[in-house]
A and B are shown apart, each in its own frame.
Chain A
Amino acid sequence: MEVKSKYISPLFDLDYFSIKYNTDVNLLPIEVIYNFLNKEDQFYFKPNAVFDPIYYIQNNPECDINPFLHFLITEKSKKSNPSLLFDTKYYYLKYNLESYPFSALHHYFSIGFRKNRNPNPLFDNQYVISRYYFSEAENPFSSYLSDNDKGINQTCEHFDGEFFKAKNIDKIKYDKSKTPLENFFLNCTNKSLVTCRKIDPALYIIDNPDVTINPTLHYILNNRKPKISNLISQPIRRQIKSASQIENNLSDRIEEYLMMHSYSQPFISPAFRLIRKIIEQIGQLKPSCIILSQRSDDTELFRTFTIRLKAVLEAYKLTEYLVLIPDDNRISHSCTFTHSTFTVDMHELEPKLKNKHKVKVLNNLLMSLKPRLFINLNTDFGKKYIVDFGRGIANYSSILDIDLIRTDKQKEKPQCKYLALSFKKYYELGLTHNVCQNLESDYQYDSAVLNRIEEKLRMGLDIILSEN
């Protein structure tokens, strides 16, 4: 009799357990589990890389059965932490899972790690996956706590394990048998522990006197930004002063900049961060769809950005993709309709933007990207500016401006989500005919218009769809 893996709780990692405790290969999985739950000498075995029976017993001294079983069958599973590094309360609150029927750990093992949920504030699932090249099926947190940790050192942008160890080994009782992150959480009220090069605890406390926990933890939990001026060291300040004797007002200009950007992103320019994010994600996703938030600006930075985005796409040989510019509140819908999408929110670069600038921005975008198909998802912005927009693009390329006019039969406004689904079908099948058929049946567009579109699609020309 073989117990299929689907009947085993996601919390019992049979592979991990078998290898770690070298179980008898002749035993059936059900026998392995039975022994684990009933044999007293196995009570302190770990059923997965995360659950720590010793930690659990220490925090739940009333437990007199197998700790894992106790965790599963009592209310404790909703309240207790299964290990030092899995923060149940944080997990429930952050992901709003109060109504989830099982433990937070169960959620993480069955769904959470695939959805990039974080088991604690300093373990960034997505960050670790991209940095250490985990596949979709691999659980990075389990790996980190097992022997096969793929060399995970940096668990999030603000926690560098080696750096933490080197800087703090003399400040705390550092337990070399534990991971750096465990050592951190054992001492997380220590305000002087340095976790990365980006946050100086002493300077952070000056700016945030209310801190009662470690500054890095406080920074992440409260989403605070360290001041950029804190990154300018005293020796550098001295050199600025010295250079000001040669170049008038240099010091004043720099100070003025630091004042104005006191809480901007430290280290590298926003463009760097954005471009880096783009490269990483495009390299991983190989997206068939790029969603661009329409809030953007038309500065030189943006022009440069589009050229570089094009370079990234070329570097990864991505010539077949859609570009969607949805309304802001529709981004979440839009993200769901293709298997691999990439979203760029240009708002990160320039928060204040007028509509007239957006027109130029979008022109620049299309000029640079020249996607196979561009769709404006009937946004209010699109309606208002689509004429200028279309004219602008026509100056640069062979894109033709074709309006889709709904017939009277269709009174309700089509949902952009479904319209997009039609295009997904088109894209997946690579058949220009499909899109027109879908449009015709779903939205009853005028057949003459559809014929024109199909003809243009066949010719390989890009098309703008707008609803007037």
Chain B
Amino acid sequence: MKIKIFKSLTSISAIINLHREGELAKASILSAVTAVDKAEEMMNISTRIIIVLDAADPLTISAAGQYVSNNKFKIYNVNLKDLSCSRNFAIDKCDTEYVAFLDGDDLWGEDWLWKAIQNDQRLNIERDVIWHPEINFIFENDNHIFFHTDMDSHDFFIDYLRVSNYWTALSLAKTRIYQEIPFIKNEIKFGMGFEDWNWNCRTIEKGFKHKVAINTCHFIRNKKIGSLLSKTNKNHCVLTPHNLFSPNTD
């Protein structure tokens, strides 16, 4: 008699953090829906989309509102006023194996989710991996291309993290990594920022690896005014302290 072993179904939550993106949020949600549909088409996977509206304006709420009746969506309206807190809140609401983040005005390439998960499942390594797309196309105010660097590549140079960030926050990984290492709140008023850079450093400190899923991409909207990065730079913020390069771990 043959015994069939059923592997438990892989599941992923696509988390979209919205604030005051207005009409732009529609494009982001649509790109998430496209990527989620593609993932379902390409692999045996259960998906859901979590939208966190953090201190959102009416236009943004209405952009998300059209998905209220869709069973795949979970929509939360909160007043945290911080992107890190908003991401941590979404993680608390997750019951899936994987999580992927999307910010309210950016777009995912349609192959992003399934290729990253496929890579993760194929890679037989001891520690969990945090996945990033190969290429970021920055568009709108300033067009350019930003290639992510794989920690296993020759281009990776850990000291670079002392002065700059290798990866955006739009990563994909097992939910438990985000639970173990939550994002730290930005204190831009007090000159502390770069929550994504800080998170990347802390995950490396804990021994997690950042890798690149080849042939995947994101489209990052570079807004002329109002972006978190421009606010951070305007306030001459420094990176929120972490211990990656502290004497004990250096």
A contacts, CB < 8 Å to B = 154, 160, 197, 228, 231-233, 235-236, 239-240, 242-243, 246-247, 250, 253-254, 256-257, 267-269, 272, 275-276, 279-280, 283, 300, 304, 308, 311-312, 315
Contacts and interface: CB of A to CB of B under 8 A. Distances in A.
For the complex of A and B, 8 pairs with smallest distance between CB atoms: A239-B109, A235-B215, A308-B163, A257-B143, A311-B163, A246-B30, A315-B162, A246-B27
Contacts of A247: 27, 31, 107, 139, 219
A243 B107 contact: yes
Interface string B37-58: 0000000000000000000000
Interface stretch (B92-100, B147-155, B179-187): B147-155
Contact of B31 (A246, A275, A276): A246
Given A235-B111, A253-B139, A267-B147, A243 B31 contact: yes
Contacts of A233: 215
B21 interface: no
A254 B109 CA distance: 14
A254 B139 contact: yes
B144 A269 contact: yes
Given A243-B109, A247-B107, A275 B160 contact: yes
Interface residues of B, number: 33
Given A246-B31, A276-B157, A236 B163 contact: no
19 contacts: A154-B154, A232-B135, A235-B111, A236-B134, A239-B216, A240-B109, A242-B34, A242-B110, A243-B31, A243-B110, A250-B137, A254-B139, A267-B155, A268-B155, A272-B160, A275-B163, A279-B159, A279-B160, A311-B162
Most buried by A among B34, B145, B160: B145
User: Which label, helix, strand, loop or mixed, suits the secondary structure of the B interface?
Assistant: mixed
A304 B197 CA distance: 15
Contacts of B163: 275, 279, 308, 311-312, 315
A236 B145 contact: no
A280 B157 contact: yes
A243 B135 contact: no
Contacts of B134: 236
Contacts of B135: 232, 236
Interface in B165-219: 215-217, 219
A256 B153 CA distance: 29
A81 B145 CA distance: 43
Most buried by B among A247, A250, A300: A247
Given A279-B160, A308-B164, A312-B163, A257 B145 contact: yes
B233 interface: yes
B246 to A, nearest CB: 12
A344 B70 CA distance: 56
A236 B107 CA distance: 14
A231 B214 CA distance: 11
B8 to A, nearest CB: 29
B146 interface: yes
B30 A268 contact: no
A257 B137 CA distance: 10
Interface string B69-96: 0000000000000000000000000000
Contacts of A300: 233
Given A239-B109, A239-B217, A268-B149, 5 more contacts: A239-B216, A243-B109, A250-B219, A272-B164, A315-B159
A253 B222 CA distance: 13
A170 to B, nearest CB: 21
Given A275-B160, A276-B160, A311-B162, A243 B219 contact: yes
Interface in B95-136: 107, 109-111, 134-135
Interface string B221-239: 0000000000001000000
A253 B143 CA distance: 7
Contacts of B31: 243, 246-247
Contacts of A308: 163-164
Contacts of B154: 154, 160
Contact of A257 (B110, B144, B215): B144
Nearest to B38: A242
A242 B217 CA distance: 12
Contacts of B157: 276, 279-280
Nearest to B149: A268
Given A243-B31, A308-B164, A269 B143 contact: no
Contacts of B215: 233, 235-236
A275 B164 contact: yes
Contacts of A276: 157, 160
Nearest to A282: B159
Contacts of B216: 236, 239
A400 B143 CA distance: 41
A160 B153 CA distance: 11
B148 to A, nearest CB: 9
A275 B139 CA distance: 23
A235 B213 CA distance: 12
A232 B216 CA distance: 10
Contacts of B155: 267-268
B137 A254 contact: yes
A243 B245 CA distance: 39
A254 B162 contact: no
Contacts of B137: 240, 250, 254
Interface in B1-45: 27, 30-31, 34
A283 B157 CA distance: 12
